Amino acid sequence: MAVPLTAAKLLKALKDEGLTVVEHRSWRTHNRNHKGPWGPLHGVMIHHTVTSGTQSSVELCYNGHSSLPGPLCHGVIAKDGTVHLVGNGRANHAGSGDDEVLQAVVNESALPADNEANTDGNRHFYGFECVNLGNGTDPWPAAQLEAVEKAAAAICRAHGWTERSVIGHLEWQPGKIDPRGFTMDSMRDRVGERLAAAKPPATPRPPAKPSAPKPKPPTYEPFPGAGFFKAGRRSAIVTAMGKRLVAEGCGRYEVGPSPAWSEADRNSYAAWQRKLGYSGSNADGIPGKTSWDRLKVPNS
């Protein structure tokens, strides 16, 4: 037992099974729900149209005729395997059938002989009409049989049913012969194999490349104090400072910079101070904390 699929879910189920689907006119709202209940759903019923030609068969199944209004099914399966959707909801396709057959479909057990017509099938079955004259000689192309298999499997998969939920009209209603040209046992075998087959695994994603370690943020020399900068001071900090001054366009070195604090370092730093907008005694070449922090001398 199942709640009927919405039009969108039915369409998706068929396409996900690999079918080519054509939406015919207003199929999403075309039904006979005003004449009786639709659901709960128990299975899928297969028919043949007793017609030839795709377009005329689709129109007939959509419109019906004077004694049997359409839709006459939910989908028409053409000889090329295309499924034309013509209805969504109650459709005039199954008619009255055997209650014992319905119970077997519900139980997904072996079907008894259909010898009564006492139960409304239009309420409980999805229906697919297959374009075929039903005379026993009109061929069933491989593409059409594959589409029957896929359509039935799609609905079974959507509801969690097995292939035992797929029947032919001839197994439901006494006196019916459709579908003629293949056996429903053989079709159920095909549907069962399709449902049992593992879906192809999704293409495995290549292992993610290990992300490059994030570079450590640069660290800078803290201001060592103005007294640090005096004649004779030798330190890697002085060299690092000189290189930064050169990079800022403030280097006043003929040779260097070197690790020994010199007049060239003082002149270079004074140029840096002036670049920052200092003047007079504030640009005397002796580093102060504010100008030093802005120079960003890397750790030596």
pLDDT over 50 at 200, yes or no: no
Q: List the one residue out of 3, 24, 23, 21 whose CA is nearest residue 13.
A: 21
- Residue 300: per-residue pLDDT: 66
Q: Are 5 and 161 in contact (CB under 8 A)?
A: no
- CA torsion sign for 99, 100, 103, 109 is negative
CATH of domain 7-196: 3.40.80.10
pLDDT over 60 at 287, yes or no: yes
- Residue 20: per-residue pLDDT: 98
pLDDT over 60 at 201, yes or no: no
Q: List the one residue out of 291, 155, 271, 149 whose CA is nearest residue 226.
A: 291
Q: Mean pLDDT for the chain?
A: 94
pLDDT over 80 at 206, yes or no: no
Among 147-161, 162-176, 191-205, whose mean pLDDT is lowest? Answer: 191-205
Share of the chain above pLDDT 90, in %: 88
* Number of neighbouring beta carbons within 10 Å of residue 181: 18
For the stretch 170-197, pLDDT in tens is 999 999 999 999 999 999 999 999 999 9
pLDDT over 60 at 203, yes or no: no
pLDDT over 90 at 57, yes or no: yes
**Residues whose CB is less than 8 angstroms from the CB of residue 75 and which lie 6 or more positions away in sequence, other chains included:** 14, 83, 84, 85, 86, 127, 128, 129, 151
pTM: 0.68
Specify the 3-state DSSP secondary structure of 283: helix
